[in-house]
Amino acid sequence: MSIIKLHDKYFKSYISEEQIQEAINSLVKQVYNDCKEETPIFLGILNGCFMFVADFVRQYNGDCEVSFVKLASYEGTNSTGKIKQLVGVNEDLEGRTVVILEDIIDTGNTLQEIYNIFKDKKLKKLKIATLFFKPDVFKKALHIDYIGISIPDKFIVGYGLDYDGLGRNFADIYQLTSKPTMTNIVLFGPPGAGKGTQATFLKEKYGLVHISTGDVFRDNIKNETELGILARTFMDGGDLVPDDVTIKMLKTEIEKNPDANGFIFDGFPRTESQAKALDQYLLEKGEAISGMVALEVAEDLLVQRILNRGKTSGRPDDQNEAKIRNRFNEYKTKTAVLKEYYQNQNKYFGVNGVGDINEITKRLSDVFDKL
Ligand code: AMP
């Protein structure tokens, strides 16, 4: 769940792969029910329909044939209403049942064109199935036999549909949204990598709000709040605090800063479920994570660094090697996977975290400047 950028526009997650497959499943059942006595020709309208047709025919168990026509009617996000190209069907369709498979029907102009093409071909039956349908803008008196998912009149991309050529390869559907206004950065790295130190410089430099979940927990422990008492049992042993508690606390911290330009998240997310919850939460606000910036430092260097810090930090979890090792174990088993999570969204930026503090701030700033 996230916001993506294609060319100059932003799109947010809208319909999941699972929802799409469910809709196709239902379409296949209905079509099969009506066509099982014959061998229908499924006719895809390129380009957008290629994924839909592939998934549809794979699920269709009866005999069938598959063919394609190409009708391009879009320029950018506005339907021009003009059909620019047609690559026709060459088969003899006389007496056959043809089921048109459309990825999306909005104004119905393309559909009208298809009706015009087929009206002289002496078909036995012509049926129309569409994966997506925009009832608010459909202007024709034509009948649509099978509808997958009805959607409002907002531009969508993904699952074969494009915005000026891009976005066809996504498994999910994304909907046009306004430009996010915040810069939200996940400062990432193993325990002791220097996230807290660096965040202190970076929040000033970029005017961002720094949220360190470790610091929030420690404040709660100091003030003996209910949350602090709960968190302490986990923190003292170097274990992660349960996700539901941490996620709830993070949302509260975000909500304390309604006018923020953005956040530096330090120590959050630490599990995949936290990352998903954060994406979903930001998405609801029309915002997203701009990037994960990771301080890369080898574990052996860090254990010594944390033990040294423990001499002055007063943190119980900094003073005992077994607890520190457990924190690394938690990091390796639950947190390190987040590198891949953000890499999959093209949002991972690794920075060498060994060296002089100012030099590392400079390396981080170079990435922050880009974000
Ligand atoms: P830190 O100050 O980031 O090293 O965090 C210290 C401790 O706080 C961790 O070892 C955990 O016990 C707890 N903690 C901080 N952030 C999280 C989080 N996102 N999820 C679970 N536990 C956390």
- Residues 83-125 pLDDT 10s: 444 566 667 889 999 999 999 999 998 888 888 878 888 999 9
Q: Pairing state of beta strands 86-87 and 146-150?
A: unpaired
The CA 242 to ligand 1 mean position distance, Å, reads 10
pLDDT digits (tens, 9 = 90+) for 211-261: 999 999 999 999 999 999 999 999 998 999 999 999 999 999 999 999 999
Cα-based distances in Å from 177 to 5, 27, 237: 10, 29, 44
Q: Which two tokens stand for residue 56?
A: 């549809």
What is the distance between the alpha carbons of residues 47 and 51, in angstroms, rounded to a whole number?
Answer: 9
What is the distance between the alpha carbons of residues 305 and 324, in angstroms, rounded to a whole number?
Answer: 11
pLDDT digits (tens, 9 = 90+) for 313-370: 888 888 888 989 999 999 999 999 999 999 998 899 999 999 999 999 999 999 999 9
- Cβ 114 vs Cβ 131: under 8 Å: no
pLDDT digits (tens, 9 = 90+) for 171-207: 999 999 999 899 999 999 999 999 999 999 999 999 9
Pocket probe for ligand 1: among 187, 211, 213, 330, the residue whose CB has the most ligand atoms within 8 Å is 213
Record the pTM: 0.74
Determine if the peptide bond prior to 47 is cis (ω within 30°): yes
Ligand 1 in contact with 246 (CB < 6 A)? yes
H helix or E strand, kind and range, residue 291:
strand 291-296
Under the phi-then-psi rule, with left for phi > 0, alpha for psi from -120 to 50, and beta for the rest, what region is 192?
Answer: left
- Cβ 193 vs Cβ 37: under 8 Å: no
Q: Has 205 been annotated as catalytic? A: no
Q: Has 315 been annotated as catalytic? A: yes
Q: Has 9 been annotated as catalytic? A: no
Cα-based distances in Å from 263 to 12, 46, 203, 206, 318: 20, 43, 8, 10, 26
Pick from 36, 370, 10, 356: which is nearest to 179 by CA?
10
Cα-based distances in Å from 176 to 7, 95, 118, 122, 156: 12, 42, 34, 41, 6
End-to-end distance of the chain based on CA atoms, in angstroms? 19
The CA 210 to ligand 1 mean position distance, Å, reads 15
For 71, residues 6+ apart whose C-beta sits below 8 A from its C-beta are: 45, 46, 83, 85, 86, 110, 113, 114
